[in-house]
Amino acid sequence: MQPMKVLHIVCVAVCFTLATISAPTFANNKLFAKGAKAFEKKDYRQALKLWKKSAKKGGASAGYNLGLIYHQGKIVEQNIPEAAKWYDKAASNGHHLAAYNLAKLYLTGNQIPRDLEKAASLYRTSAKMGHPEAKYELGVLYEQGLGVEVDPERAAKWIKSAANDGLAIGQFKMVQLYMTGFGVEKNEGLAFEMAKAASESGNVDAQYLLGHMYHKGIGTVQSNEMAMIWLEDAIDNGHQKAKALLTTIENETALAANSK
C-alpha cells in the first residue's frame, strides 16, 4: 500500500492528520475523492456532506476526517461527542488513527464519559495496527493498571515495541524499565543504549539523563567529556537542570586538573 497523502499534520496529544486519497484503498471511492477535492477548494459544507455519505458506507478515512474536523473545531464548532461518533465508525472499519484519537478522548473524559477500559481496548486496536504512540500508551496503561490489570511483561512488551519503532518517549521509558527491572531484567547497559537512542531522537530529558549516566559511568565507561557534550545539548534544548550538572562536572574536572 502506498503511503497516505496528508493535507496537514499536527501531532501532539492526539494525531491531527487529515487523510486525503491513498490510491490502492480509495481509487473507487468517488464520494471520498470528491470530498477531498471539495475540502481543498475550501468548500467545507460539501466536503462534510460527501464524507458523511462515504463514512456511512464504511469509508474509514472519511469517518476519521469527520471525527478530526469536529474534534479540532476549526471548520465547524467543536463537538467532541460528534467527533467520537465518527472516530468510532472509522475505528470499526480499521482506521488506526481514529482508534488512537478516540482512545485519547475516553482516557481523558473530555466531554464524553471517561472509560478506561474502552481506552485500553482502542489503544490495543491501534497498537496492533502498528501505531507507535498507541503501543507506548497501551504499555503505560499496563504499567499503571488503568483500564487493565497491572502487567509488567505486557507493559514492557508494548513500550519496547514503540521504542523499536523509533519513538523517543518509548526509548526513554525503556531506560526506566531496564534500570528498575519492571517487566524486564535489570540491565544498565541496555538502559544506557536506550538513553542514547532517545537522546539522538531529540528527547531532552534523555539527553540530560545520558549526561548523568556518562558522568557516573552507569551502563558505560565513565566520561566527563561525553557527559558535557550531551548536557550542552540538553541546555540548548531548554532542560532546566542540565546547567547545574554541567557546572558540577566542570568544577570537578578543574579540581582534578589542579591537583595533578
For 178-260, CATH number out of 3.40.190.10, 3.40.250.10, 3.30.365.10, 1.25.40.10 equals 1.25.40.10
Residue-wise pLDDT for 193-212, tens only, equals 999 999 999 999 999 999 99
26 or 61, higher pLDDT: 61
Whole-angstrom distance, CA of residue 48 vs CA of residue 26 = 17
pLDDT (0 to 100) of residue 140: 98
User: Nearest to residue 171, comparing CAs of 195, 152, 189, 148?
Assistant: 195
Whole-angstrom distance, CA of residue 121 vs CA of residue 71 = 20
Domain ranges of the chain: 85-165, 178-260
Q: What are phi and psi of 77, to 5 degrees?
A: -65, 135
The mean per-residue pLDDT over the stretch 154-171 comes to: 98
16 or 1, higher pLDDT: 16
Q: What angle do CA 133, 11, 25 make, to 5 degrees?
A: 80
Q: Is CATH 1.25.40.10 the classification given to domain 85-165? A: yes
The mean per-residue pLDDT over the stretch 5-29 comes to: 44
pLDDT (0 to 100) of residue 2: 32
Residues 28-49: b if buried by 16+ CB within 10 A, e if exposed: ebebbbbbbebbeeeeeeebbe
Which pTM was predicted? Answer: 0.86
Share of the chain above pLDDT 90, in %: 85
pLDDT (0 to 100) of residue 258: 82
pLDDT at 152 over 90: yes
pLDDT (0 to 100) of residue 26: 44
pLDDT at 13 over 50: no
Least confidently predicted of 26-30, 87-91, 92-96, 175-179: 26-30
pLDDT at 23 over 80: no
